[in-house]
A and B are shown apart, each in its own frame.
Chain A
Amino acid sequence: MSEPTFPIELTVNGVLREARAPARRLLSDFLRHDLGLTGTHVGCEHGVCGCCTVLLDGDPVRSCLTFAVTVAGHEITTVEGLAGPGGEPSTVQRAFHEEHALQCGFCTPGFLCTVTALLRDTPHPTDAEILEGISGNLCRCTGYQNIVRAVRRAAGEA
């Protein structure tokens, strides 16, 4: 009773990728284990913690609540795709570094994707908008203090 697999072709971080996976394969597992992009993390597998957040056609989604087969033909951006073409960190990545907005770094890829989309849509957020914007991502290390500062800094520098 071998499980049927399906071809999945999609663009990840600007590169066309193709792999086969069963229908039930989560996008998070597909990215991590089939494509080897382990920067996207899995913290709860029920869509609450936000660690697995990636950008699907530019919008943040929970990759642990998304089946890989459903995103065939779409564009995905993961944390590995946020830096510039020469590998230089993005404004958001740089701000997280400068403001000490990460400790263990496990939730960080999800925050980076979330904040990247937030600042694209709201380039000059108020503090309330920042809190609202990151309120779908859990962090257990930082108490969020420096994440909020980093978003402010990134907004100021964008």
Chain B
Amino acid sequence: MFGDPVVRREDPRLLAGQGRFLDDLGRNALAAAFVRSPHAHARILDIDVADALDVDGLVAVYTWEDLPGRVGEPLPLLIPHPALTHGRTAYPLARDVVRHVGEPVAMVVARDRYLAEDAAERVRVEYGTLPAVVGLENAAAAEHLVHDDVPGNVGAVLRQETGDVDAAIAAAPHVLEFRLDIERSASTPLEGRGVYARWDADDGSLRVYSSTQTSTSVRAAVATKLELPPGKVEVIAPDVGGGFGVKIVHPWPEEILVPWAARLLDREIKWTEDRREHFVASAHERAQIQYVRVGFDDAGRVLGLDVRILHDHGAYTPYGIIIPIVTSTQLLGPYKIGAYRAEVTSLYTNTLIVTPYRGAGRPQGVFCMERTMDRIARHLGRDRTEVRAVNFIRPDEFPYDQGLTFQDGRPLIYDSGDYPGLLAKIKELIGWDGFAAARAADPSRRLGIGLACYVEGTGVGPYEGGHVEIDPTGRVHVSTGLTSQGQGHQTAFAQIAAAELGVPLQDVHVVTGDTRRFGYAVGTFASRAAVMSGNAIALACRRVRAKALRVAGEALEADPADLEITDGVVHVRGDRSARLPLRTVAVLSNPLRYSFDAESAVATQFAVGGSPDEPPVPPGEEPGLEGRDYYSPVRSTFAAGMHAAIVETDPDTAEVRVLRYAVVHDCGRLINPRIVEGQIHGGVAQGIAGALYERMAYDASGQLVNASFMDFLMPYATEIPHIETDHQETPSPLNPLGVKGAGEAGVIPVSAVIAAAVEDAEGIEVNAMPLSPDDLFHLRRRAAGRCHPEPPG
């Protein structure tokens, strides 16, 4: 059961068209639409709503001036950090100045979305445009400022350092210096964001549905902003059509404004983001420039690594500087680096905010480290796998302290791993050693091979919880507060519960992301759900199991230590004659037993509870067969993996074709290999998208010129190669299940792998991703003008 590739519990509903996504709810709700800034940087001079008032079906129009109290205050800065000296967040509706195209300026509420958009078009906003800051180098030059009170456009300067880097590099036999560039990309789930709010005036309570990765934190934000007791706010993440990071940001302006207006108007209101809004008004990720200086010895051992990073965080910093923290720590990968220094300058630009997208800064760090390894190998004339191997942390060196501070504020200590084992597997899977001969045998084609390694901190704290209740029909109800966006939690968590309790899988029913069921949670991000909620559910199950054995032990007059549970029935070990189904145990656990059903009638045959002098619910006990527990790790777990690819480049069109793509992955014990493999497939596809196709094309004035699926090239099936996978299982010693996270892994090393393979095919250095045919064409032209006249055969 645990560890089996069982098919998913959530599928039948979704396959029948019976999903409940945000816009599937609230059929009679009013619709909200937003007037958004068409300018990247401008002063708002006047807003005239008179024309909009003529639209039939209009209910209300709001601008910043209409927002009372906390609703009108700037949105919270979720994750402050001492290095973030100049954090700035937006107002829910722009006040005086807009700082990126798509920033909300007014909210319109109308009878349906068509009418709301009609009215939004008629809201006239007069702007005085200001110079737009676009691109990292312009931001750093700081000729113009995004925020008047942020000198140099610098939000944060973050340093991570271990050892004396300058001395190590100065003493190194070999030194290389180079620059790397990574473009913007974005999560781009097929379902955008959305919020639907219902105010219950009689009860003074609010129910909010949001397409979010964290319903509990949205509840806290809404309750605070609307000055409601948390108990009067329910937030539910219904079926969510993909997240990939963008939906962890909270509260979005719309998550405050829609519930606020629903209460004010005492009407149901729904806002469903459209695709253009998602491009210009949600969040992006990735963009960095990296200046690398590395010193190494004759074997390729890195003695000192100095990386200066410019990071583009967009117009505001609601999510702090998590991405550069992750980049600068996870950059080290599976390697022991002699001395290391990363200095990240995080800069404001007049573009959309930058918050985590699957990988969350790791793809950039891995790109840097792995490009560095390839350059070292080329410089020394050594095999690229050999250079990596001499730098690996050895299996007997765990736990391994990298000497840095990770994103959770804890020391960056790797829990377990076997990197030489992974390297052997990936070389075998892709046929690394035989490739040169195969290429030599086919000199008419431009073939190349590349690989990249990564370590991913997963399962960051601080905690998740689980609640488990067995009802008098024997159904097992499991809930956890974090949310689901397609990861198969209803299946994987049910597998954990079924294994822990000894019940059939089909008896277990899992609910996630519903504050009515579980109030304390952090959210689904950082590949943490299996580690955090998985372990919390296991611990809660152990409490319930212990109670079930205690209650059954009394009824069966047996020592609980002699009892076990098989297929939902408690029995004496090795003897199935004395037995009690869990549904009966559930009835026995509650002294109030009206005989609503046959089970209660049966249960009354058993005498439970000691003497008549004791209360029916003894001290320390609770009625019911339920349990709750939390899992809070001391540190993160560290998954790892290696990817390799063989590519072919077209000599005429400069197209890159991925002929083979191989993945070896280690996320500790697998709960459901089928689901893990699916996560890897999806991650790799997003990685290939970021390596070859997707970019955010901002022009100099800050317009996102490819803000549609016509122009933003999300890959179809025709662009994604067959993905070959293999697993290694190095259990984590840190948690009861021995699991590590798997959600983001697939995407992390892909740009580095493709860059390495193209470089190998072309004999041209690849320092920037993504790599379009146009980019490769220009790289060839430039190379032809200088060095390599012909790529190697």
Contacts and interface: CB of A to CB of B under 8 A. Distances in A.
Interface string B495-530: 000000000000000000000000000000000000
B717 A45 contact: no
A30 B307 CA distance: 55
Given A49-B709, A142-B682, A147 B717 contact: yes
A136 B147 CA distance: 43
Contact of B681 (A3, A87, A108, A145): A145
B54 A1 contact: yes
B244 interface: yes
A80 B14 CA distance: 10
Given A41-B21, A112-B15, A104 B239 contact: yes
Chain A contact residues: over half helix, strand or loop, or mixed?
loop
Nearest to B688: A143
Interface in B74-117: 112-114
B271 to A, nearest CB: 14
Nearest to A92: B15
B274 interface: yes
A148 interface: yes
Contacts of B275: 43-46, 49
Nearest to B491: A100
B17 A144 contact: no
Given A89-B15, A108-B14, A136-B716, A141 B242 contact: yes
Contact of A109 (B17, B113, B189): B17
B242 A106 contact: yes
Interface in A92-108: 93, 96-98, 100, 102-108
B486 A135 contact: no
A78 B485 CA distance: 23
Chain B contact residues: over half helix, strand or loop, or mixed?
loop
Interface string B288-309: 0000000000000000000000
B15 A102 contact: yes
Contacts, number: 177
Determine which residue in A2, A49, A140, A144 has the highest number of CB atoms from chain B within 10 A of its CB, and name it. Answer: A140
A100 B682 contact: no
B576 interface: no
Contact of B21 (A46, A106, A131): A106
B190 A89 contact: no
Nearest to B244: A140
A103 B244 CA distance: 12
Interface string A19-48: 000101100010011001111111111101
A83 B488 contact: no
B318 interface: no
B722 interface: yes
Interface string A122-155: 0000000001101111111111111110000000
A141 B613 CA distance: 60
Given A32-B24, A42-B23, A106-B241, A143 B190 contact: no
B191 A106 contact: yes
A76 interface: no
B685 interface: yes
Contacts of B716: 134-138, 144
Nearest to B242: A104
Contacts of A55: none
A134 B7 contact: no
Given A33-B27, A41-B21, A42-B23, A146 B241 contact: no
B282 to A, nearest CB: 14
Nearest to A42: B23
A98 B7 contact: yes
Contacts of B18: 39, 80
A51 interface: yes
A35 B551 CA distance: 51
A96 B56 CA distance: 45
Given A44-B708, A80-B17, A143-B685, A106 B190 contact: yes
A79 interface: yes
A24 to B, nearest CB: 7
Given A42-B23, A46-B709, A104-B240, A93 B15 contact: yes
Interface in B254-277: 274-275
A79 B7 contact: no
Nearest to B712: A48
A140 B686 contact: yes
Contacts of B577: none
B698 to A, nearest CB: 20
B17 A104 contact: no
Contacts of A103: 242, 486-488, 678, 682
A2 B56 contact: yes
B685 A105 contact: no
A104 B54 contact: no
Nearest to B723: A145
Given A102-B11, A146-B678, A141 B486 contact: yes
Nearest to B118: A3
B682 A141 contact: yes
Contacts of A83: 16
Given A46-B275, A108-B15, A143 B720 contact: yes
A28 to B, nearest CB: 11
B710 interface: yes
A33 B686 CA distance: 32
B323 to A, nearest CB: 20
A131 B56 CA distance: 47
A137 B191 CA distance: 14
A143 B27 contact: no
Contacts of A112: 15
B364 interface: no
A98 B240 CA distance: 22
A3 B56 contact: yes
A48 B685 CA distance: 18
B723 A143 contact: yes
A131 B719 CA distance: 9
Contact of B19 (A39, A45, A131): A39
B191 A104 contact: yes
Contacts of B56: 1-3
Interface in B9-54: 10-12, 14-19, 21, 23-24, 27, 54
Given A41-B191, A104-B240, A141-B242, A78 B720 contact: no
Contacts of B113: 29
B709 A44 contact: yes
A32 B710 CA distance: 24
A52 to B, nearest CB: 11
Determine which residue in A3, A106, A135 has the highest number of CB atoms from chain B within 10 A of its CB, and name it. Answer: A106
B191 A142 contact: no
A155 B689 CA distance: 29
B482 to A, nearest CB: 15
B16 A104 contact: no
A140 B190 contact: yes
Nearest to B358: A140
A136 B718 CA distance: 10
B188 interface: yes
Contacts of B16: 39, 79-80, 83, 87, 89, 93
25 contacts: A1-B54, A32-B24, A39-B19, A43-B275, A83-B16, A89-B15, A93-B15, A100-B678, A102-B14, A102-B15, A105-B14, A105-B15, A112-B15, A131-B718, A135-B716, A137-B716, A140-B189, A140-B242, A142-B682, A143-B681, A144-B681, A144-B720, A145-B678, A146-B678, A148-B717
Interface of A: 1-3, 22, 24-25, 29, 32-33, 36-46, 48-49, 51, 78-80, 82-83, 87, 89, 93, 96-98, 100, 102-109, 112, 131-132, 134-148
Query: What 5 A-B pairs come out closest when comparing CB atoms?
Result: A39-B17, A106-B241, A104-B486, A105-B14, A143-B685
Given A38-B21, A105-B239, A137-B716, 11 more contacts: A1-B55, A37-B17, A41-B21, A80-B18, A93-B16, A104-B242, A131-B717, A137-B717, A140-B685, A140-B686, A143-B720
